[in-house]
């Protein structure tokens, strides 16, 4: 094993990891990620006890306990660029010895649970519902910088690439939820294939004043079918979480709160109430899971 340099793993003066401002031991083995920093306290208010609160920039962390289960909730901000920071630094907290700067011999696998908002692309997916990403197609480039190979679902990815415009510069990748978490946590919830976009407007088929290069992107996404598998929703983090979790040896699953339906052009009339309900649903599942 080679020593990790001071510029590859940057530590603050107090020994905490650079962006998250956390020390080893500050995080639990089960970690909830939310995009919005304000949503951290909306999750931790349901903890029986909060033992730690730390923040730096958009990264806010609360660690506490529900029943006998220790949990951490961390805000990531928006996009897979932030996921790159958060997942790598969380992995460092449990799997790198900060004194020797060497990887630990016994590596720890974290459970990473995303609770995020999303837009459905199929008319029959109910507004204000909760959807689990069984897999995610990344339209961003994050996983192209890692040694990431996922042969599972090669046919689905090939079929998706085939329907993209000939002139497309996109090079999508495909990553999956952890099978163990997928079999245990959803408990009857709807599941689907998610698209992770690198932006909110043109990358998700929205058109305002700036012209979109791929004007028919939404039609492609909505009509895609591969062996009965269709795309259910659009968001901005899941593929990066699934891909990096796989590379680092962690388990991940993404819960999507459906606040919009792009097919029916409807948006939730009670988004905060819906998010709160979905947070409680996920916490109840985590509190009773092994």
Bigger pLDDT: 14 or 205? 14
pLDDT tens-digit map of 82-133: 999 999 999 999 999 999 999 999 999 999 999 999 999 999 999 999 999 9
| 183: region left, alpha or beta (phi > 0 left; psi from -120 to 50 alpha) | alpha
As a whole number, the mean pLDDT across the chain is: 95
DSSP letter, residue 127: T
pLDDT tens-digit map of 13-45: 999 999 999 999 999 999 999 999 999 999 999
pLDDT tens-digit map of 182-197: 999 988 899 999 999 9
Length reported for the chain? 290
Instruction: Write out the two tokens for 214.
Output: 């791929």
What are the backbone angles phi and psi of residue 251, rounded to the nearest 5°? -110, 135
Residue from 149, 146, 134, 5 nearest 87 by CA: 146
- Sequence-distant (6+) residues with CB within 8 A of 82 are 58, 76, 237
**Residue 290: pLDDT above 80?**
no
**Residue 167: pLDDT above 90?**
no
The full set of domains in the chain, from first to last, is 30-288 (3.40.50.1580)
CA distance 230 to 223: 8
DSSP letter, residue 177: -
What does the pLDDT read at residue 1? 67
CA distance 115 to 146: 25
Pairing of strands 111-120, 251-261: parallel
Residue from 262, 281, 260, 280 nearest 271 by CA: 260
User: What own/partner pairs with CB < 8 Å and gap ≥ 24 does 268-276 have?
Assistant: 268/127, 268/128, 270/128, 271/117, 274/128, 275/39, 275/42, 275/117, 276/42
- pTM for the model stands at 0.96
User: In this predicted structure, which of 45-59, 213-227, 251-265 has the lowest mean pLDDT?
Assistant: 213-227
**Residue 150: pLDDT above 80?**
no
pLDDT interval class at 211 (50, 70, 90) = confident
């Amino acid at each position: 094993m080679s020593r990790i340099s001071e510029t590859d793993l940057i530590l603050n003066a107090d020994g905490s990891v650079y962006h998250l401002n956390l020390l080893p031991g500050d995080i639990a083995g089960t970690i909830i990620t939310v995009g919005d920093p304000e949503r951290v306290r909306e999750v931790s208010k349901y903890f029986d006890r909060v033992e730690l609160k730390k923040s730096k920039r958009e990264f806010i962390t609360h660690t506490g306990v529900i029943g006998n289960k220790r949990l951490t909730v961390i805000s990531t901000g928006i996009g897979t660029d932030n996921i790159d920071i958060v997942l790598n630094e969380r992995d460092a907290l449990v799997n790198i010895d900060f004194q020797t700067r060497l990887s630990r011999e016994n590596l720890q696998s974290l459970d990473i649970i995303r609770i995020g908002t999303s837009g459905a692309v199929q008319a029959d997916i109910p507004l204000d519902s909760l959807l689990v990403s069984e897999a995610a197609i990344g339209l961003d480039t994050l996983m192209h910088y890692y040694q990431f190979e996922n042969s599972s679902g090669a046919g689905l990815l090939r079929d998706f690439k085939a329907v993209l415009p000939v002139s497309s510069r996109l090079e999508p990748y495909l990553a999956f939820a952890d099978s163990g978490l997928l079999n245990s946590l959803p408990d009857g919830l709807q599941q689907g294939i998610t698209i992770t976009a690198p932006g909110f407007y043109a990358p998700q088929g929205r058109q305002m004043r700036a012209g979109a290069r791929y004007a028919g992107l939404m039609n492609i996404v909505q009509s895609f079918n591969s062996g009965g598998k269709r795309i259910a929703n659009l968001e901005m983090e899941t593929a990066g979480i699934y891909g990096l979790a796989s590379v680092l040896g962690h388990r991940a699953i993404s819960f999507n709160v459906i606040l919009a339906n792009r097919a029916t052009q409807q948006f939730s009339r009670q988004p905060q109430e819906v998010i709160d309900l979905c947070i409680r649903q996920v916490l109840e599942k985590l509190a009773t899971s092994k």
